[in-house]
Structures are given as structure tokens and as C-alpha cells.
Amino acid sequence: MEYQFNDNFLWGAASSGPQSEGTFPGDGKAEMEWDYWFKQVPEQFFDGVGPSVTSDFYHKYKEYAKLMKEIGMNSYRTSIQWSRIFKDREGTVNEEGVTFYQAVIDEFLSQGIEPVLCLHHFDMPMYWMEKGGFENRETAEGFAAFAAKCFELFGGKVKRWITFNEPIVIAEGGYIYKRHYPAVCDAKKAALVGYHIQLASSMAVREFRKSGREGSIGIVLNLTPTYCKEPDNEEDRRSAEIADLLFNKSFLDPSIRGEYPEKLVELLKEEGICPEAAEEDLEIIRSNTVDFLGVNYYHPRRVTRRSTPYEGPLMPEKYFEEYTFEGQKMNFSRGWEIYEPAIYEIAVNLRDHYGNIPWYISENGMGVQDEEQFLDQDGIVEDDYRIEFIRDHLIWLNKAIGEGCNCFGYHLWAPFDCWSWRNAYKNRYGMIRVDIKNGGALSIKKSGRWFRAVAEDHGFINISNPYGQNKRI
């Protein structure tokens, strides 16, 4: 069967500044939260690898751009690091950082690759963390000023902007599950941080429109469709509804509709953790909704009602337990279920309940540990499993588009192997290999060649297992 996409479809991939650029003497970059945290607890990072060098995109961006062109990408999302543009809370501009991003933008445009720029990808400058980060409303004002400066500096050439990547992860990762800095478990702080991030995003949208720049601005959300174990059971359905409110609708609704779901507000009030919102702030959120949505999709969430009373600090798990879906397909490296139909269900939900807003897959990908085991005799990674992963998700995305869903692109995470927070280089996601044991030498994996063919043909013909025997991962 043939699966075709329109000629203007975005074929590309995504990375981020803190996961790719590195930090070097003389670059003028201020310290961000990950720089600081690594210095405090390097033992908590896989193989003791921190954010100082990463994939050395700072020096090798031209080489990366050339290879991205070679694998057929017509677009690339990355982020501008707040800490690389502003040296301090007062907004002192780091000219070295400006020069770097201008050069990166020009290089990608020269290769025929559209840069899509995100303003925040888990990288809070420490000069704002010292003020409480997004626990403090002032940080939202600071972010808006940073956004305005970026539109001024780069808005003449960049036409698609993103305010935040996965804002829910900042709240839950840093303030509930201890996966990100400051690694505390405090549901009230998490709710406050989430509210101020939404306010900051809406303020950035306002600044973009004030700038008069041509283009559009959106937000990237990691949407995890929630499935309950027993749909006919009222308690199971309630568990799924709460999980959906907390992890999906908490940013989806205010970003697109300008309003928080009433049931979410009621839940937070019942728990005594609902932030006090000034009417002027709520008006900013109402009046500055996004133009488009980026959707990061990796895996579904499967929940059931609690079987035992919940004990411990307030966390989402008070309302549900997760369960293993019988017969599920797995990426064992990450411990994530692979469930392709969810990408179709996300699309239909956006079509039917969110005004069919323009959107694209901003991340979808497969991280694999010990990928060197799949090197062939020529040193090429034969990642048939990644080809299958992309292909099978695209089949469901194509179905959604055929049924009127307003999706304009597909971005893989990631174009090249990159540093992944505390996991460092444990799992590889890229279509381009970064050989960290050989000076960061770059080579295109089998998936990159396949991706180029798909992008050039605006689609593909699917036949049963066309790429040989799939390797167990």
C-alpha cells in the first residue's frame, strides 16, 4: 500500500541547545541548571557524562547541517539557550551567543533546511533558579523579555517559533519525580511552577505578536494518551480522566483554548494546591493562545483504579496505578511501550475537540542502548528497528491526515545522537551516529538513508518486512 504526504510536509528531526551545543571557554554562556546540577552530583549521570561537550554542535554545526541535508531533512527544531543569550537577570546580551545562533540559522537556511526555534528546552539559567525559577512569577516576566529579544534578533529569518518544550516535564520532573533539578517532591510547588510556565508561554506569544514579525508561534507538548484497563468500570474511567487532566490537558487547554479545564481546577482546589491566579494573568492566558501545536509522542499511559490505599506525599499516583497491557510491543532499552495507533487518536482528538488546530509531530523516536552491536562490517549502524518504528507511526499519521486531521509535518527525535540529561549517551536516538569514543566522528545510519528516500518521494510504499530480519533490542 502507498502512503503519500503533501509536497509542503515538514520532514525533519529535533534536538535542543543544552543537549547538543556544549559549553566552552570564551563562549560567554552563563551557567544553567544542568551545568550546576552535574557539578553537584556527577555520579547521578550515566557514565559520569555531563552537559559540557555533548555532541559539540557549537563547533560542528556546519558538518551536522550538511549531513542533515544528506538524510533528506527540510526542517530542524532546536532551541536557543536563554543562558547563552542573556548573561544575567538584567538581560545583558552575550554577543558571542548571538553571533553563534545567527551563523547556525544562516547555515541551515543555506542548506534548504527551515530552522524551527524553541525558546525553552529544560534549561533554566541559574541566575533565575537562584530566584526560585518558575516558582517566582518574576521569572515569567524575565522569560518574556528573553523571548522579545530573540524575536528582535532572529525573527527576520525564523518563521516558526516554539515557546516551551514539554512544560509538564519541568513541573513533574523537577517538583514531583526528582528527575530534573531542583529534584524535590512538592505537589503545591509543581502546580505553581506549571501555572507560571503557562503564563510565561502566553507572555511570549504576546511578545511575538507585538513584534510584528512574520510567522507563527506554538508550543510543544508531550501528549500521552491515557487508556484505562476496564473501560466499563467507572473507577477506572475516573482514574484515566484524572491522569489525562494532569498530564495532557493541564497545558493543552490553556495553550489552545485559553482556559483551564474546570475539573482540573476543582481537583487542585480539593487538594489545596491550586495557585492563586490574578485576573490580569488569566486574561493574558485567554488572549494569547498559540497558532500551532507541536506534539511529542513516544508511548501511551495505561492506568487502572488503585488496588491499595495511597500513602506518601501527594503525587498523581494517588488517583491511579499503571498496568502492563497484555501483548504489548516494547522498546526494552527505555522500558516504553510501542503503540502506533495512539498517534492517530491524538490527531482525531485535536481535530474534534481543539478546533483542528494546525499541528505537527515534533518528536517521535526510539532510544536504543548499546547500539554499536548493530554496526555492520563497514561501520554503519543497521537500525532496521528504527525504520520500522518510524514507518509504522507514519502509517497511522497518514490515516489521520486522510481523515481531515490538520498535521503539517513529522520530526523524529533526533537527527543525531545527543546527550539526554541524566541518561547522557545511554540510549541513542539519532539517524546520524556520534561516535563519542572516537572524537565524536559522525556517520549516517541505515535509517538516515531510508528517511531521505521517504522525504524525496513524499511517502513510501509499505510491503511486509522490506528491510530484512528485525533485530531484537
Rounded to whole angstroms, what are the CA distances from 463 to 155, 364, 394, 454?
43, 22, 14, 14
Grid coordinates representing 292?
500551532
DSSP symbol at 467:
T
Q: Is 214 a catalytic residue?
A: no
DSSP state of 409: E
- 374-382 contacts at long range (C-beta below 8 A, 24 or more positions apart): 374/471, 379/443, 380/443, 380/444, 380/445, 380/446, 381/433, 381/443, 381/445, 381/446, 382/445, 382/446, 382/471
Cα 121 to chain centroid, rounded: 7
Pairing between strand 368-369 and 10-14?
Answer: unpaired
Q: Which of 21, 33, 207, 363 is catalytic?
A: 363
Question: Residue 20 is which amino acid?
Answer: S
Q: Quick one: cell of 147?
A: 523571548
**Grid coordinates representing 62?**
556546519
Q: How far apart (Å, rounded) are the C-alpha atoms in residues 220 and 140?
A: 18
Ramachandran bin of 447, using left for φ above 0, alpha for ψ from -120 to 50, beta for the remaining angles: alpha
Distance CA 367, CA 330 (A): 12
- Classify burial at 392, counting beta carbons within 10 Å of its beta carbon; exposed 0-12, middle 13-18, buried 19 or more: middle
H/E stretch holding 307: none
Distance CA 126, CA 249 (A): 29
Whether residue 166 lies in the annotated active site: yes
Q: Of residues 33, 166, 371, 382, which has the active-site annotation? A: 166
Peptide bond into 191 cis (omega under 30): no
* Residue numbers annotated as active site: 166, 363
